[in-house]
Amino acid sequence: MTTFVRRMIATAVLGAALTGCGSGASNGGGGGAEARRAPAAPAPPESAAPPRSPAAPAPPTVAAGPEGLTPVFERARKGNAEKVVALTFDADMTADQGPRAARGERFDNPRLIAALRTLKVPSTIFMTGRWAEEYPDQARAIGTDPLFEIANHSYSHHAFKSPCYGLPTVAPDAMRADVERAFAAFRTAGARNVVPYFRFPGGCYDDRALRNLGPAKVTAVQWDVVSGDAFATDADAVAGQVLAGVRPGSLVVMHCTRSAAPVTEQAIRRIVPELRKKGYRFVKVSELIGQR
């Protein structure tokens, strides 16, 4: 197999993964448009997330389901009158993409983060552990900036349910360790604003995955608005799709991975002023969950 062919295949796999992140077609949970399970509860002290400073209040979580099943949150309760919306950005990097990064492919997007700072948009970054290892300075900068919170998008960006857009699959008995390895990578990078939320790679999960992650004490976070930014070349189309989809309490999925989502920053510069004009306020996922 030529290098070119290998690269094309690798690109296709990442493409599948990113498309999966934004498709919402495969969540397997059938949870509808609201959090599926019980009301908000304080984060348990044994949460897998790194300890926060004593002064910081524990981020709100959703209570576990029956038999400790990981709870799933998709958007704020319907009928919530307040015009709030959470923009979320998946910082994807698959465990085996190190050689591609070494050849110069950029899985980060510093200009997107800079735009969010300039526009003062509180946001939640769902980061893979592998990304934090590749870009530790950025992980620390994001994770110490009160504008942002870092949530967990697994260490490896492998699938927690198969099939899932061609992603390699995590073995059931390795799922919890994969999530905890990502939290460890955030800690090593020096990130502090880390919340106990987890987004399944590709959004793919089933009850077995929810059961296996129960001991990790995370809240799984899906979305109700797909931005379509993966491999998009038309920022206006991405912005239009988001603007058409957002409702009060919505949760939007986008990406913080320049090589695979090249127009996200441009789209954000359109989306943010438009939504503000419509009366929306941007919140992090922790605030959205806290409002339930």
Q: Which residues here bind Zn ion, judged by CB under 5 A? A: 21, 90, 92, 201
- Residue 61 vs residues 35, 44, 81, 124, 201: alpha-carbon distances, Å: 11, 9, 21, 15, 20
Residue facing Zn ion at closest CB distance: 21
- CA 217 – CA 196 distance, rounded (Å): 7
In the bound state with Zn ion, the residue whose beta carbon lies nearer, of 43 and 227, is 227
Q: Provide, rounded to whole angstroms, the least separation between the CB of residue 66 and Zn ion.
A: 28
Q: Are 241 and 93 a contacting pair, CB within 8 Å?
A: no
CB of 2 to Zn ion, least distance (A): 28
Least distance CB 229 / Zn ion (angstroms): 12
CB-CB contact of 272 with 123 (8 Å) = no
Query: Is 167 within 8 Å of 12 (Cβ atoms)?
Result: no
Choose between 151 and 275: whose C-beta lies nearer to Zn ion. 151
Residue 38: other Cβ atoms inside 10 A: 12
Measured from the CB atom, the residue of 223 and 282 that comes closer to Zn ion is 223
CB of 257 to Zn ion, least distance (A): 8
Strands 40-41 and 61-62: antiparallel
Residue 253 in 3-state DSSP? Answer: strand
Report the nearest approach of Zn ion to the CB of residue 129 (Å). 12
Cβ atoms < 10 Å from Cβ of 32: 11
Of 28 and 60, the one with the shorter C-beta distance to Zn ion is 28
Closest distance of CB 37 from Zn ion, Å: 23
Output 90 or 265, the one with its CB closest to Zn ion.
90
**Please, which residues bridge with residue 186 across strands?**
none
**Residue whose CB is less far from Zn ion, 205 or 280:** 205
